[in-house]
Amino acid sequence: MMRPFAALLLLGPGLLTAAQQTGSVRAADQFIPGATVTARNGGAKVVAYTDETGHYVLDLLPGVWEIQIDMFGFAPLRARIDVGVQPENHDWTLEMPRLGQSAPAPAAAKAEPAKPAPTAAAQPAQAPATAAAAPNGGRRATPGGRYGQGRGGGAYNAQAGGGRGGRNPQQQGPGFQNMSVTATEEGAQDLASAATEPPPDLSTGGDANDSFLVNGSMSGGLAAAADEQARRDRLMMGGRGPGGPGGPGGPGGGLGLMGVGDAGAFGGGPGADPLGMNGFGAAGANNGFGADNGGGFGLGGPGGGRGGPGGGPGGGRGGGGPGGGGGGGRGGGGGRGGRGNPNQRRGPYNGQFASFGNRRRTQPAYTGSIAITLTNSALNAAPFSLNGQAQPKPSSASEQVAGNIGGPVRIPKLVTNDKWQVYLNFTLAHNRNAVSQVSTVPTLAERAGDFSAATVRNTPVTIYDPLNSTPFPGNAIPAARFNPASVALLQYFPQPIFSGIIQNYDIDPSTPSDRHSISLRLSGAVTTKDRLSFNEQYSGNDSKSVQLFGFQDTSSGYGLSSTAAWSHSFKPRFNNNASLAFSRSVSQATPFFANKENIAAQLGIVGPDQTPIDYGPPNLSFTNFGSLTDGSASLNRNQTTNFTDNVTYVIRRKHNLTFGFGYRRMQQNALSYANSRGSFTFGGLLTSGFNADGQALPNTGFDFADFLLGYPQTSSLRIGNSNNYFRGWATSAYVQDDFRVNRGLTLNLGLRYEYFAPYTELYGHLANLDIAPGFTAVSVVTPGESGPYTGKFPASLVNGDPNNFSPRLGFAWRPSQKHSRTIRGGYSIFYSGSSYPQMATRMAAQPPFAQTGTLATSLADPLTLQDGFPLQPSGTVTNTYAIDKNYKLAYAQTWTIAMAQTLPHNVVMELEYVGTKGTGLDVVENPNQTPPGSVASTTQQVANANAFTYETDHANSIFHAGQVRVTRRFTRGMSAVALYTFSKSIDDASSFTGGGGGTLVQNPLDLSAERALSTSDQRHRFTLTYLLSSPVGVHGLWRNGGMKTRLFTGWTLNGTFTANSGTPLTAYIAGNLAGTSKGNAISGNFRAEATGESIYGGDFPFFNENAFVAPPAGQYGNAGRDTIPGPALISLSGALNRAWRFGDTRRQLQLRISASNVMNHVQITSFGTTVNSATFGLPTAASGTRKVTLLLRFNF
C-alpha cells in the first residue's frame, strides 16, 4: 500500500521541472497569509492566494503579466513582470496606506526577483528606502505607519519602528491585537524546510503583547519569522523578557507550572544532555510541570506545554547546545513601532483593532476551522520481531476532532463591540494505543523446578542447595522445597508464547485513552493606551496503561488555567505588559489489583500496607526474566500562581531597554502509595556456590531458582505518611539592552537574577540525614532541628542558593554593508531550580514520617518472601535518601559564535560553534556500600545504617559542537535545509535532575573513575528537511491543462531525513555478583571488567561481547562508563499535502497524509549490557515501524 507513496517520495526531486512563478508576500518582515495575488495578461486572469507560510504559486505562460496583490488593511501593490520559460521567484512587501493617500497606480517598472537572504526565511523582500539597514540577517525597521504595523530587527536591531504593533504618536491607539495561534499544523510544519527549527506549538494561548492578526489567526509565516528570530537571539544570548505562564502539561501531567522563564533563548541545562533531549526547561515527567526556564537551544523537554507572554522562545530543535526548555513562551517583541508623521490626523480606525479578514467586509469577520485526524493500524506496518518469530500486529486507532472559531464580540441587539475579540478552541480525541513488548518468562520446565537447560550467555548454570551448599541432583529443585508463596505467585506469570528460553514472551494489547480540552480567550482595547486579555483553559484525560504481564492500570486527570494580562502604553516607545496566571491540575492513578483481594495477607507476606487500595502482589524483579510489577496508587493536586511584569523603553533609536520581574508560588499536594506493596529482587545468590572467602562462584546460581525457594536477594518497602503538601516559590528580575552601535554592529547586554526557594512541607514532614565528617556517623533530622554534626537545619532541610546571577552578552556584526556575511556570538549563564520538587518528595517518604527499608539478604540469615521486611534493631537508621545541606544549584556557561554567508542560487551557508560548561551537576552515591561480592556488613562506613543514596553537587561537564547548515530557499518548486552537527560531551555524572535520580557512582571514594562520555553523547547528527511542489507548469510534466493538470496542481511533498550516530551504553553486573552485604542493597552501580579486547569487531551483531567479563570477586570493575557505542539511527518521514479553495473566500479544504518511517526501515535502538544476564548482547528494543496519519481540515 505504501510503495507508491515511497516511490513518489524518492522520485519527487526528479519531477520538479515545472516553470512556476513563486514567491511570498510580507508586511515589513512578517509573512502574510490569505493575500490575493492576481495576474492579468490581456483577457487571461490567474488568481492565487498565499498560504499559511505567506507563499503563493502561479502557473503563467510566457509573456508580460500585470501583478496585483491585495490584502485588506494594506495599500494594493501592482507591478509588471516578464514571464519567460524559466521559473522565477518574486517576493513582495505590502505597505500600509497613509492618510489621504490613494492606492498607488500600476507600476511600469519590472519587479526584480527577490535576492536571497543571509539566513533562511528571515530576510524581507525589498525594504523601504527609509528603513535603516540591519546586520546580516537583521530586519530593517519600518516606520510605525498609520496603523502602527512597524516591526524592527528584534534583539539585534531594536530602534524606532522596531516593534510589533507600534502606533502613530498622534493616533495613541492600542496597535494590533493579540491572539491565540490557530494556524494549521500542516502549514507550520512545512516551514521546517525554510527555517531551522520545527514549527512552534500551535496550542491555544496568548499574551498581552501586540501582534498582527490576520484572518483571525496568526499565520505560519509569522510563526516562522519568530522561530528564526529565536535562533538569532539564541546566538546572541539575547532574549525577550521573562517567561510566561506554562501551558498544559505533558503526558500524565495536566496543566504545567507557570514558568518564570529565562530572558532569552538558549535556556537549558548543563551536563547530561547538551543537545537538548532533557534540558532544564521542563519536568514534564513529574506530573506535568511546565517549563521553569524559557526557550532553549535543543529539543525541549517533555511537559510544560506552550508558554505564556513575554518568554524566551521555546526549545527548538537545534544542532547542539544545552537542553531546551519546555515552554517559556514566544518572546514579546522588540521596541514599539516608529513615529509617524506628527502632522497627520488620527486614522479612521481611531486606534481600534484593524482586522485583515474577509476583504469584502469593512468589519472584522468571524473565522474558524475544524480538523479531523485519523490513524489506524490497518495502514501501519507490523511491529518488528526482536526474536525473529512471527508476531501479531496489535490493533490501534485514533480519532481526533479539533476546531476553533473567533471574531468580534457581538450579541444581536445587545452588544456590538469590534474592539473586543473572542476565540474558542476545542479538542476531542479517542485513542486505542498499540503496545508491543518482548521479554523472557520461565519455561514450563523452569516453572516446575527443572533447570537442566538453563544457561546464561550459552553457558550452563549449576544451582546449589542453600541448605547443604551442594548442587541439586539433575539441576532440579524438588516440588516439596517450593515456597508456598512462590507457588501462589506463579499464577501471575504468563506462560511462554514462543519457543526457546530467551525472549519467549510478547504482549500486544491495545489500551484506550481519551482526552478533551476547551479554551476561551477574550481580548480587546479598554482605552487608546490600554488592552486587556483573559484566557481560560480546561483539559481532561482518561487512560489505561498495561504492565508487562498484562495488568491494566487506570488513570485520569484534569487541568484548569486562567490568565489575565494588561498592556499599557505610556508613550509610543515606553510600554508595560503585566500578567497574572493561575493553574491547577489533578491526576489520579489506580493500579489493577487495588480494592480487590489482599494477596499479600493471603500469602503470609508480612509488612505491606493493609489499605485496600494497596492490595496486590509485591513487585518481583529478576536478572534474567521480565518483572512482575503493577503501578502504585496516587492522587496529585498541584497549583501555581504566577505574576510577571515587563517594561520596554526605546531611547533615541539606539537602545531598546527591556526590564521586568516575575514571582511564582507553587503547591504540590501529593497522596502517594509508592512501593506500599513492597518489592523483591532475585539474583540467584542463594543458589550459588561459594569459595572459601564467601564469594559467589561463576556460572552458579539462578534467579528463578531463588524465587521458587522463596529467597529474595534484596527487599524494599515504604508505608505511611501518604499525604504531603509541598510549597515552593521562585522569583526573577532582569534588565537587557539591545544597543545598535552602528548600521553594522548591534550589542545585546543583559543581567538576570533568579532565586529558587527549596521546597518545604506544610506540616514539616521532611527528613534528612546529618552526616559526620568522613561519613563515620549519621543522624536523622527534621525541619528546624539542630543536627549533632553540622548544626541547625532550615525548614526545607536544604539551604537556599541566593547567588544565581546570569549575565547575557551577545553581538551581531555585519563587516560590510555591501556583502551579506554576518557574524554573531554570545555568552551566557543559566540556572535551574527543577531539582527541588523531587528532593522534597524523597525526603518526605522516610522515617520518622514513613516506614522505609532497603535490605539485603545474608547467607547466615536469609530473607524470605514471608519475612522479607523484618523489624530492624533499635537504633538502626533506615532512611534511604539524604542530600547535602549546602547543596547548590547547577549552572551552565554557554558560548557560541556563528557566521552566515549568502551563496549563489538562493543558497545560504552557516557555520556555528557551540560550547557549554556544566558546573555543580548532581552526584548520586551510596556512601555506605561495600565492594562487590562482599558478604559482611562490618566494612560499612556507618554500621548502624542501611544503604542510602546521598546527593551532592560536585560533578562537571563539557560540551563542544560544530555545525554546518546549508539552506536552499524556496524557488523553482523546491526548498531544503541540510544540517550536520559534530559534537562531543564528557562529564562525570550524567544525571542532573535532582531527587536522587540517575545512575549511582560506582565507588564513592574514586569519583575520577566516573568521568567519561555523557550518556547523551551523539557524535554525528545529520538532518535534511525538504519541500517539493507538484510538477505542473510551463515546463512541468503536465502543462497543457486537462484532467492531469487539474489532478496534480497544488500538491506539495515535504519530509525529513535523519541519520544519527548512537548514544553510548555501559556494561554492568547484577544479581549474585553484586554482593551480599546490606550496604549493596541499592544496586545498579557496579560495572563490568574490561578484558582488553577491542569493543569493535568479533562475531557479534552489535559489539564484541568478549570485551567484558565479571570483575574479580571483591573488586570494582575497571570498565568505564559509556564505552559501548550505541546503534546508529536512520529515519525518513514524509507528508503529502493539498488544499482546495472555494471561490474568492477563506473557505478552504486541506488534506494531509503523513507517514513516519516511510520506508519501514526498522533498526535496533538498544541491547542488553548486563554481563551476567541471559539478554547480554541481545536486542531489547527497536525503532517504530511505519505509521500513517490522515488529517482533513476545513477553514472558514
- For residue 1013, which amino acid is it? L
Residue type, 32: I
Rounded distance between C-alpha atoms, residue 567 and residue 1094, angstroms: 64
DSSP readout, 997-1065?
-SPPPS-TT-GGGG-EE-TT--SEEEEEEEEEE-SBSTTSSB-S-HHHHHHHTT-EEEEEEEEEPPPPB
Q: Do residues 874 and 944 lie in contact, with contact meaning Cβ atoms separated by under 8 Å?
A: no
Three-state SS letters, 39-97: EEECCEEEEEECCCCCEEEECCCCEEEEEEEECCCCECEEEEEEECCCCEEEEEEEECC
Cα separation, 855 vs 680, whole angstroms: 10
- Residues 146 and 347 sit within 8 Å (Cβ to Cβ): yes
**For residue 961, how far is the Cα from the chain centroid?**
20
The neighbouring-strand residues paired with 1168 are 1176
The pTM of the full predicted model, rounded to 2 decimals, is 0.73
Instruction: Please give the Cα distance from 833 to 758 (Å, whole number).
Output: 8
Residues in contact with 1091: Cβ distance below 8 Å, sequence separation at least 6, in sequence order: 1106, 1107, 1108, 1109
Residues 153 and 176: their CA atoms lie apart, in Å, by 18
**Residue 602 belongs to what H/E stretch?**
helix 599-603
Cα–Cα distances (Å) from 730 to 258, 517, 832, in that order, read 10, 29, 11
Give the Cα separation of 367 and 184 in Å (integer): 13
Distance CA 948, CA 878 (A): 8
CA atoms of 32 and 714, how far apart (whole Å): 64
Considering Cα of 202, then 205, then 206, then 207, what sign does the dihedral take? negative
- Assign residue 158 a region (left: φ > 0; alpha: ψ between -120 and 50; beta: otherwise): beta
Neighbours of 1001 (CB within 10 A): 24
Q: Could you count the other beta carbons within 10 Å of the beta carbon of residue 257?
A: 36
CA distance 45 to 915: 55
Taking the C-alpha atoms of residue 146 and residue 74, their distance in angstroms, rounded to an integer, is 10
SS3 838: helix
Question: Under 8 Å CB-to-CB from 590, ≥6 apart: which residues?
Answer: 553, 554, 555, 613, 633
Strand partners, 1156: 1187
Integer Cα distance of 57 and 975 in angstroms: 14
* CA neighbor of 1062 nearest in space, from 1161, 1130, 991, 1010: 1130
Q: Which of 309, 350, 330, 418 is nearest to 148 (CA)?
A: 350
Are the C-beta atoms of 223 and 188 separated by less than 8 Å?
A: yes
Q: Residue 322 and residue 296: Cα distance in Å, rounded? A: 7
Closest CA to 963 of 974, 941, 978, 944: 978
Place of cell 505607519: 145
Q: Which helix (H) or strand (E) holds 709?
A: helix 703-709
Contact call for residues 247 and 307 (beta carbons, < 8 A): yes
Query: Which domains occur in the chain, in start order?
Result: 3-94 (2.60.40.10)
Confirm if 1070 and 1172 have CB atoms less than 8 A apart.
Answer: yes
Cβ pair 1068, 1002 in contact under 8 A = no
Residues 235-253: b if buried by 16+ CB within 10 A, e if exposed = bbbbbbbbbbbbbbbbebb
Cβ pair 667, 686 in contact under 8 A: no
**Can you tell me the distance from the alpha carbon of 863 to that of 873, in angstroms, rounded to the nearest whole number?**
15
What pLDDT shows up at residue 688? 93
Give residue 264's pLDDT: 33
Phi, psi of 273 (to 5 degrees): -135, 70
Q: Of 828, 837, 833, nearest to 801 (Cα)? A: 833
Q: Dig out the grid coordinates for 779 from the structure.
A: 543522624
Residues in the chain: 1196
Query: Do the strands 974-987 and 907-925 form a parallel or antiparallel pair, or are they unpaired?
Result: unpaired
Q: How far apart are CA 648 and CA 240, in angstroms?
A: 10
Query: CA angle, 909 as apex, 908 and 915 as ends, to 5°?
Result: 140
Q: What is the pLDDT of residue 931?
A: 66
Cell numbers describing residue 841: 518528595
Distance CA 1005, CA 553 (A): 42
Q: Biggest alpha carbon distance in the chain? A: 106
Do the beta carbons of residue 463 and residue 472 sit within 8 Å? Answer: yes
Segment-wise mean pLDDT, segments of 10 residues, the chain, 1196 residues? 46 43 77 82 77 76 84 80 74 68 39 36 35 36 35 34 35 33 35 33 31 29 40 49 36 30 32 33 31 33 35 35 35 37 37 38 72 92 85 88 92 79 95 90 96 91 95 96 97 94 91 95 92 96 93 95 96 94 96 95 94 95 94 95 96 91 96 92 93 85 96 91 92 96 94 97 96 93 95 96 95 91 96 91 92 86 92 87 94 96 92 96 86 59 86 93 94 89 90 54 87 93 92 64 76 94 92 61 75 87 91 86 93 92 83 93 90 90 91 92
